[in-house]
A and B are shown apart, each in its own frame.
Chain A
């Protein structure tokens, strides 16, 4: 587990904070999904993924990336504009939707709209 976090902080920087259940969720990612997740993180860092500026005023200085992994896993990566990555969340639907709502994004699931 420590190795995975080390690998991620090597890409995103030491300031990044992981969600409480991160370990549980990252360990449950099957082979291809895990590689897909890591590759997405690297692409966010290099600017190959399109991010969003949260429309809520209180988060206007953030830049956010979202990712769906398989049917049940969801990821949110947050950085400060012109600065470092600050938070990485890997979770199931509910926690993901909660975070999206907090940032001012619409809930993700089709049937939960």
Chain B
């Protein structure tokens, strides 16, 4: 059986279960790929019903072998994405981002795999991101790849470094400010939701879901997201020591600066985090 195709099916559970495979069949495929012992009924299912379905999928897969289309891509945008990819000769390229799934978009994100270094540049309406194969495994890029058109299989096992507490705190502060100031991009909120999904819910969220959640969130929800991620990643003792120290700086700023309602809010949330 085509293991590459089976691996792609495993990476896109939502797309194939229950529309094409049942939950039991999906579990059987997972066991087959991981070389875990299978029951007789699972083996039977694998070599009869699953094999037939995979054969049919293989036929379609060959039909469009030059391009890989993942996720719910707006069909009218596929040709444009293919045209962009084809304009980069002899490169491993994929198009991702809101261009593929949203009616409105700012620019078209084009990802090009190269041997060394990371770089972003803007050319006309293209936002071109050069990255290495290793970087492609980063959770953020695997999230983007979940809704993409590419000329290679861009699905990889995911890696995401645990953030430092101070990074998480600053992310929370900026998320709060972006919601309060009605920021159109809400990049910090996006990162906070991403961390929450990855570390708390153990899920790499698709960019489509991410966009939907990010623009519906309110302040009390980001408070909860922040607290959940902190409790998931750090010990109570560590949080107590670090946050208590930061609370002193916050109190100083509250007393010395003007327009500090946001700092007062953080202080309440931090006190809840370490005492509650």
Contact = CB atoms under 8 A, between A and B. Distances in A.
Interface of A: 47-57, 60-61, 63, 66, 71-72, 81-82, 93, 104-106, 108-113
B177 A81 contact: no
B70 interface: no
23 contacts: A47-B257, A50-B181, A50-B262, A51-B257, A53-B249, A54-B170, A55-B173, A61-B249, A81-B252, A81-B256, A82-B252, A82-B256, A82-B257, A104-B166, A106-B163, A106-B174, A106-B188, A108-B187, A110-B187, A110-B190, A111-B109, A111-B129, A113-B140
Contacts of A105: 167, 170, 174
Contact of B166 (A49, A55, A82, A113): A55
Interface residues of B, number: 41
Given A52-B174, A111-B140, A106 B253 contact: no
A81 B140 contact: no
Contacts of A49: 259
A33 to B, nearest CB: 15
B169 A50 contact: no
Nearest to A101: B167
Chain A interface mostly = loop
Interface of B: 109, 118, 120, 122, 129, 131, 138, 140-141, 144, 163, 165-167, 169-171, 173-174, 177, 180-181, 187-188, 190-191, 194, 245-246, 248-250, 252-253, 255-259, 262-263
B257 A63 contact: yes
A8 B161 CA distance: 40
Contacts of B190: 110
Contacts of B167: 55, 104-106
Contacts of A113: 138, 140, 191, 194
A76 B207 CA distance: 29
Nearest to A93: B120
A102 B167 CA distance: 11
B253 A53 contact: yes
B83 to A, nearest CB: 22
A47 B258 CA distance: 6
Which of B109, B167, B190 has the most CB atoms of chain A within a 10 A radius of its CB? B167
Nearest first, the 10 closest Cβ-Cβ pairs linking A and B are A82-B256, A47-B258, A55-B166, A60-B249, A105-B170, A47-B259, A55-B169, A104-B166, A106-B167, A81-B256
